Amino acid sequence: MPDSSPSTLAIANKVDSEFDLVFYGGQLRYYEDGFLRPAEMVIRNYLQGLLGKYFSSKHVSEVFYTLESRHFVERIPLNVKLINFQNYILNWIENKTYEHDSIDVKFISQLPVNYNPDAKCPQIQKFLDEVVDSEDQQVLLQYLGYCMIPTTRFEKALMLIGDGANGKSTLLKLVIAMLGQENISTLSLFDLSHRFRLAEIVGKLVNIYTDLPSKKLEDSSVFKAILSGDPITGERKYAHPFTFKPYTRLLFSTNKLPTTIDISPAFFRRWLIIEFPHTFDEKKRDTGLFTKLSKPEELEGLAQLAIQGLRMLKEADEFSESTRMAQLRSDYERSNNPVAAFFEERCIIDAEAEIKKADLFKLFIKYVNEWKLPSLGRNEFIEELKRQVPSIIEVRDSDRKWRGIKLRR
């Protein structure tokens, strides 16, 4: 290196000769061993060796600005038919495998396990049988397969629920081990609207957060946008905002489902809720369980179960929600909006029908007491009823009635 300070352009050209770069989602990435990896620290280390005494924050910033401008792409093409394993690329629909350099696809992620169609996971299967009911296992494996490919086709989030030592945390650790820590973000459901945190989900297969606190979700708009793959804006500190289409699936665990301001059916419809019904004695806990479950051959077997689940999901074109799961989701909606639940279960719209306001409110109070739901005052009930049934009319005669609604027979 000459004594005079090298030019930014010359340094950027040197970096380009060493790295196959892309600037996407506010982040430089370089292609190596089958996928696009985060490049910032690798390039910083390279520049430190290249520049020696000329290495400075000014030089680095100028080089990064040049590289980012040169390699910007608005999106990275995605192929939902392909899963990028360590040893092969799998076309899971046609059941074909490819060497990494044999097809012209640049993946943004790679699973840290090998594709082995003969792999089994007896230890993981035994664990699943102990912690999750058999009907719910199918949905769980469908969702794990769904997390392997870059799509939001089904617009669903998964919530694992249950008290105490019941296997939720161990299962999520297994999911992380199979999908890869580098392919996972860890935002709480309550942090999804944070402008700087949101950038963390770019290029991530799934967002996993364990043990959600029991508090109210004040804003569900970004949650729904992520699940639908709608364009959203992210921002990294000291950098310009950028727009991207997420394909990150959302997976959470909790002891108690969070309450929500959004009581629309569209919000509750997006949830798959799996109960972990069994509590295990902490004194009898196998402290080496995760080590046994996370052996490479076990994770390869889990990947095979997930692929089978993904194929079942494609065939059915919907998740195989069990009766218990549907009940949990219905209970979740009922507990957050007892008026909507009461109307859906006990009432129907009839333009000519009339019912006394006092009688309807008494029936509502009886309903919430029966289901042990949070009650509402008369005025709150009226306000929410009008939201649920915009066509309803108040008849202000001596009896004070509602017109446009009647009880189911």
Q: Assign domain 337-407 one CATH number from 3.40.1280.10, 1.10.10.10, 3.40.50.720, 1.10.3470.10.
A: 1.10.10.10
Nearest to 338 by CA among 369, 370, 374: 374
Residue-level pLDDT at 42: 97
* CA end-to-end distance (rounded Å), the chain: 88
Chain center to CA of 52: 43
Nearest to 226 by CA among 208, 200, 201: 201
Token pair for 98: 């490819």
User: Mean pLDDT for each consecutive 10-residue tract of the chain (409 residues)?
Assistant: 67 95 94 93 95 89 94 93 97 96 91 98 97 96 98 98 90 98 96 89 96 91 96 86 95 95 90 93 82 97 98 97 95 90 92 94 94 88 91 88 94
Output the CA–CA distances (angstroms, integers) from residue 341 to 168, 191, 304, in the order listed. 29, 28, 40
Q: Which residue ranges make up each domain of the chain?
A: 8-71, 122-323, 337-407
CB contact set of 74 (below 8 Å; sequence gap of 6+)? none
User: Using an 8 Å Cβ cutoff, are 376 and 393 in contact?
Assistant: no
Which strands form 27-32's sheet, in the order they lie side by side?
Answer: 21-24, 27-32, 35-38
User: Using an 8 Å Cβ cutoff, are 83 and 146 in contact?
Assistant: no
Token pair for 154: 């089904």
CB contact set of 240 (below 8 Å; sequence gap of 6+)? 26
Phi/psi at 98 (5° precision): -135, 150
CATH architecture observed for domain 122-323: 3-Layer(aba) Sandwich (3.40)
